[in-house]
Structure 1
Amino acid sequence: MSFDDIEGDPTESEEPFHPLGEEWQDNLEDLLDDTEYDTELGMKMGRDAMRVTKGELSEEEFHEEYHEEVIEEFGEDERPIASPDDADDEESGSLLSAFSGKESRREMLKKSAAGAGFASLGWGAVDQQEPESEPAVEEPGEVQPDEEATQWGMTIDLEHCDGCLSCVVACNEEHNWDQGANWMYVLAFEDGQVESPEPDTENASVHDFNYLVRPCQHCTDAPCEKVCPTTARHTRDEGGLVLTDYDVCIGCRYCQVACPYGVNYFQWDEPNVDDEEIGPEMMYDQRDRWVSSRAPRGVMSKCVFDPPRQDGNVGDELVGTTACEMACPPNVIQFGNKNNPASDPERYRENPARTRTIINVYTALPSPDSVSSSLQGVDPNLDAIVEAVDEFTVELIALAEAVRLTRVDYEEEASPGDTLPDKEQTILDVVSAIESTGIDLGSQQTLRQLGLLVEQFQGPSQDVVVSTREDVAQELFEDYVDAPENEFELLGDIGTNPNVDYLGHEPGPEAHQVPGPTSYEEVGMLNVRQKALDDETVGLFDRDTDLGVGEESGSSH
């Protein structure tokens, strides 16, 4: 399909192009109308950036179509897919490398933007380093991430989320974004196929609700990056993080239109927290670019996967972690290197039943030292061992032995910040402490007592074929934790290659948000940014708005 086939105002077409639906798209148009930038250009670029990720349009065609308009509107075109041959000699290369000293990128743009009309809002300044060279452009649908490099990402278990909003609170405390601009967002939903109870329903459990946990997806092929005229929105080589350079962003908000997930926020007013209260270690990454914590006024921001942590700014022990992950009581957020099979998110994704069991059993067991102390002089038989340790049951010991039976020896070392290997090792140490009494947990007699023999297995499903002890152990895990059976990516069919995997019920096309067991007000947060802004120009959704493709309602305005 050529551009001639799709010319015209995308907001006037019969079908909305944005995955979040017509109302969302209309609100995005209203948002751009309140800026000094070209609304129609932003809407068209957002539409066609998504067409590029879908493979309907090449990167080269996309750049060629919009290069002249971007130059006319912004005085430059620094998009990563721009060719130096397309730019004037004085504009070739990234302005990020040309501008240095005490003037910020925005201040230089005010002088060089030739009629672009950038507002004078008193931007801050930061020295900039030479940017790294951009990778070669791939053909549509052929994005080839470097599987040897670290790619930070998440696996999120929706089935075991309890909707407590601890992740939202922790993210806010770490990054100081203004109330309602939720970089991490948790919603309860119904979609016509599944329902969630009313929060005050008698005997309702927090696990009766259906949840969607929505951080930025840090897409490998991010459409928001394709529309940014200044390289403010970019993918960092280290860790594959999709970030915004606050000292480069001009606040055109085109990235908000191009994002299929609704995760971008515009900083309307002066932030609630001053720079001095944050500190440079929480603001600047290892390249000395201001990409973390809340944005200054007039700039876009979103979830960043915590560059200060990943760069070691706040201690080596926090590398490979995020605030939301560490704050999650049920451990449903697993963050780590998605390119490492031994990492927490990949272990969890590969075998959620076993991994969930490890988390639960680790929590239930006493420490190995405590077990060793309690079992001194105890007879080497199962009944005596269970009697000697208050926390022990036959089932718990069976699960611990099942963990040992199914242990995987990875060729790769665990990634920094991973906790599952230590949890598993603790369980194995408890098993060793039990066997220090003289009992052999792997003997036929003890395995029979634990229910781990193939011939005695009565699994949860008549369809299960069990032929080895490892099979029995796996079925024991499946029966114990009711592990999620479904795995999905949000909008996985549009080609963005998100780096967040979900386990659990995927919201259907009729999904809409409903009140969850814990309200945002209960934890001192806001559900929608509009509630905190008197002059909000968009954010017309409420708690009962349709989610379109299962996304959050209006929280990203």
Structure 2
Amino acid sequence: MSFDDDTSDDEAFHPLGESWQDDLEEMLDETEYDTELGMEMGRDAMRVTKGELSEEEFHERYHDDVVAEFGEDERPIASPDDADGNEDGIGSTLLEFANGDGSRREMLKKTGAGLGFASLGWGAVDQQEPEPAVEEAGEVQDADEGTQWGMTIDLENCDGCLACVTACNQEHNWDQGSNWMYVLAFEDGSVESPDPDTVDVDPEDCGDNPVVHEFNYLVRPCQHCTDAPCEKVCPTTARHTREKGGMVLTDYDICIGCRYCQVACPYGVNYFQWEEPETDEDELSADMVYDYRDRRVSARAPRGVMSKCVFDPARQDGNFGEGNVGTVACEVACPPNVIQFGDKNNPASDPERYRENPARSRTIINLNAELPSADSVSSSLEGVSGNLDAVIDAVDEFTRTRIALATGVQITQEEYEEEAPPGDSLPDKETGILEVVSAIEDTGLVLESEQVREELGLLADQFEGPSQDVQVADTEEVAQELFEDYVNAPQNEFELLADIGTNPNVDYLGHEPGPEAEQVRGPVSYADVGMLNRRQNALEKRTIGLGPIDSS
């Protein structure tokens, strides 16, 4: 081999540990491709993200070996255009080869793509004229300029119900065990989770069982890194970052299944499709499979191809209507609303609002569920005089605390220069609460008056909230303290493996797993929800820093 063997050492380079790394090496041994090359490239790709090796040095070091092994080497060197397949090079060449002169989208619509592109090499080709992206997707493209799709995940309020896992599976049809979304409970020496054998939890009633919140959780989708090591090692540019929305995707028609991306991923989120998929090709919707570029990047992978969480490009491209733009299946399905998906570049988006002030955001979510609609409140308050006690007595759901919190939401409103992106729900929930406040004020009750605010405990000089040792200076600070005391607001913010330098686009709020974290059984098992956790039988044997993660 021509790469510099002097850079090798006996220590594990992979953040998930030596045992994980050994499994990766055994995995590569089962492919037709060079194991040593894949392992070394994976190690050095992570060195690039850490800043220990330049993109140019990395590319030069492995160029000859990649050409010898794969026949071509057009790996991107920090070039978004190349990575997106928009410029000349192997990415566009292979895409054209896979496309032929025709549209794969149209072929799938007509035949269900029963030809199985990946299992036939780089694809079967039809002979029709290329079809442009769907009309709705074209409109979304314009709105997507400068967007970086990402998540904020509130681990403190996760209940381990696995609804996000099942929703992702239902939408994308990946084979069981290839968990694009994965939820694990963990212990790390400083925090413990309950013994699941002593916990009897119905998956549908997680939210009503307080014991589920005694577990410590990590919710692990793909991190869609801005500087993704998996992309750096892909010899065909099948793994690439899409310019629109910044999603890290895999073109199934270009992927050759070398699995180098699986080695280079610090997070363990990639899956190889060993067998014929459980869901037949003709059961897949073309609008789910193809994105606006007519590239096959979503739904379950064909045999012999890599796959992972995709942040639902079909939704972001408008294939399922404008109402689903800015949403993902896991977020929509999450009962406690701990997954916030949206544009990380927009301060007004759900994930950024939640990250900036989790206590206020969680208060809005909880109040929205607890309070009746503004129309219902107006009806109940008809004829009621502007008296706080009378208002509370007239509406069953009203308490002094809830009215104080709703008033606090009004007091702490923030004006954003940008509009909230499509699909975001926090602005609508906040508007609903403000409409309830307005309906209360229609009775003549002046919530801004010093007398009413004193009755609600919203004055700084008489603040008597649970956190009485906290010094507050004004009404906004009083409201913020009420939010903090009302909800289980996470105090910590972190990124997974931030020191790796990948710049992940998923932010976490809550307890960060320590270096000795081990996965433990959660209150709801994968079997309880009809899913498969292939790592469960290995829990007693190994730890991987973040907790054992399904790598099948």
Contact 1:125–1:247 under 8 Å retained in 2: no
Residue 290 of structure 2 corresponds to: 284
Residue 190 of structure 1 corresponds to: 187
The one-letter code matched in structure 1 to 2:149 is: W
Q: Deviations over 1:248-279 (max 9, x none)?
A: 00000000000000000000000011121111
Equivalent residues in 2 for 1:121-270, closer than 5 Å: 121=120, 124-125=123-124, 149-201=146-198, 205-270=211-276
Contact 1:78–1:95 under 8 Å retained in 2: no
Q: Deviations over 1:369-391 (max 9, x none)?
A: 00000000012111111110011
Report deviation, 1:82: 8.8
Structure 1's 226 and 332: CA in aligned 2 closer, same or farther, altered over 3 A?
Answer: same
SS of match in other structure, 2:196: coil
Matched, 1:401 2:403: no
Report deviation, 1:67: 0.4
Residue 58 of structure 2 corresponds to: 62
SS of match in other structure, 1:239: coil
Structure 1's 281 and 394: CA in aligned 2 closer, same or farther, altered over 3 A?
Answer: same
Q: Aligned equivalents of 2:498 and 2:466: distance in 1?
A: 32
Report deviation, 1:124: 3.9
Contact 1:228–1:255 under 8 Å retained in 2: yes
Q: Aligned equivalents of 1:38 and 1:104: distance in 2?
A: 34
Report deviation, 1:92: 7.3
Structure 1's 213 and 431: CA in aligned 2 closer, same or farther, altered over 3 A?
Answer: same
Report deviation, 1:94: 4.1
Report deviation, 1:548: 2.4
Residue 25 of structure 1 corresponds to: 21
Structure 1's 200 and 382: CA in aligned 2 closer, same or farther, altered over 3 A?
Answer: farther
Report deviation, 1:460: 4.1
Residue 512 of structure 1 corresponds to: 518
Residue 134 of structure 1 corresponds to: none
Residue 41 of structure 1 corresponds to: 37
Residue 479 of structure 1 corresponds to: 485
Matched, 1:72 2:71: no
Q: Aligned equivalents of 2:314 and 2:397: distance in 1?
A: 39
The one-letter code matched in structure 1 to 2:503 is: N
Structure 1's 418 and 91: CA in aligned 2 closer, same or farther, altered over 3 A?
Answer: closer
Contact 1:20–1:549 under 8 Å retained in 2: yes
TM-score by length of 1: 0.87
SS of match in other structure, 1:159: helix
Report deviation, 1:462: 5.7
Residue 96 of structure 1 corresponds to: 94
SS of match in other structure, 2:361: helix
SS of match in other structure, 2:439: helix
Q: Aligned equivalents of 1:421 and 1:92: distance in 2?
A: 44
Equivalent residues in 2 for 1:306-317, closer than 5 Å: 306-317=312-323
Contact 2:175–2:278 under 8 Å retained in 1: yes
Instruction: Name the structure with the higher helix share.
Output: 2
Q: Aligned equivalents of 1:433 and 1:246: distance in 2?
A: 53
The one-letter code matched in structure 2 to 1:447 is: R
Structure 1's 423 and 410: CA in aligned 2 closer, same or farther, altered over 3 A?
Answer: same
The one-letter code matched in structure 2 to 1:25 is: Q
SS of match in other structure, 2:153: strand
The one-letter code matched in structure 2 to 1:72 is: A
Structure 1's 164 and 320: CA in aligned 2 closer, same or farther, altered over 3 A?
Answer: same
Equivalent residues in 2 for 1:485-524, closer than 5 Å: 485-524=491-530
The one-letter code matched in structure 1 to 2:14 is: H
Residue 435 of structure 1 corresponds to: 441
Contact 1:510–1:546 under 8 Å retained in 2: no
Q: Deviations over 1:392-437 (max 9, x none)?
A: 1110000000000000010100001000000000000000000110
Q: Aligned equivalents of 1:496 and 1:82: distance in 2?
A: 13
Compute the RMSD of aligned alpha carbons: 2.5
Report deviation, 1:96: 3.2
Structure 1's 411 and 82: CA in aligned 2 closer, same or farther, altered over 3 A?
Answer: closer
TM-score by length of 2: 0.88
Q: Aligned equivalents of 2:489 and 2:371: distance in 1?
A: 20
SS of match in other structure, 1:392: coil
Matched, 1:556 2:551: yes
Q: Deviations over 1:46-78 (max 9, x none)?
A: 000000000000000000000010000000012
Residue 138 of structure 2 corresponds to: none
Equivalent residues in 2 for 1:461-476, closer than 5 Å: 461=467, 464-476=470-482
Q: Aligned equivalents of 1:165 and 1:92: distance in 2?
A: 39
The one-letter code matched in structure 1 to 2:69 is: E
SS of match in other structure, 2:198: coil
Q: Which of 463, 470, 476 is matched with 1:457 structurally? A: 463
SS of match in other structure, 1:384: helix
Structure 1's 103 and 258: CA in aligned 2 closer, same or farther, altered over 3 A?
Answer: farther
The one-letter code matched in structure 1 to 2:171 is: E
Contact 1:540–1:554 under 8 Å retained in 2: no
- Identity %, equivalent residues: 73
Report deviation, 1:547: 3.9
Report deviation, 1:458: 2.9
Q: Aligned equivalents of 1:280 and 1:50: distance in 2?
A: 35
Q: Deviations over 1:186-230 (max 9, x none)?
A: 000000000000124368610000000000000000000000000
SS of match in other structure, 1:349: helix
Residue 7 of structure 1 corresponds to: 6
Q: Deviations over 1:16-55 (max 9, x none)?
A: 0000000000000000000000000000000000000000
SS of match in other structure, 1:7: helix
Report deviation, 1:7: 2.5
Report deviation, 1:80: 1.1
Q: Which of 445, 453, 463 is matched with 1:447 structurally? A: 453
Q: How many residues are aligned here?
A: 508
Contact 2:103–2:130 under 8 Å retained in 1: no
Q: Aligned equivalents of 1:540 and 1:397: distance in 2?
A: 46
Residue 204 of structure 2 corresponds to: none
Structure 1's 129 and 22: CA in aligned 2 closer, same or farther, altered over 3 A?
Answer: farther
Report deviation, 1:15: 1.4
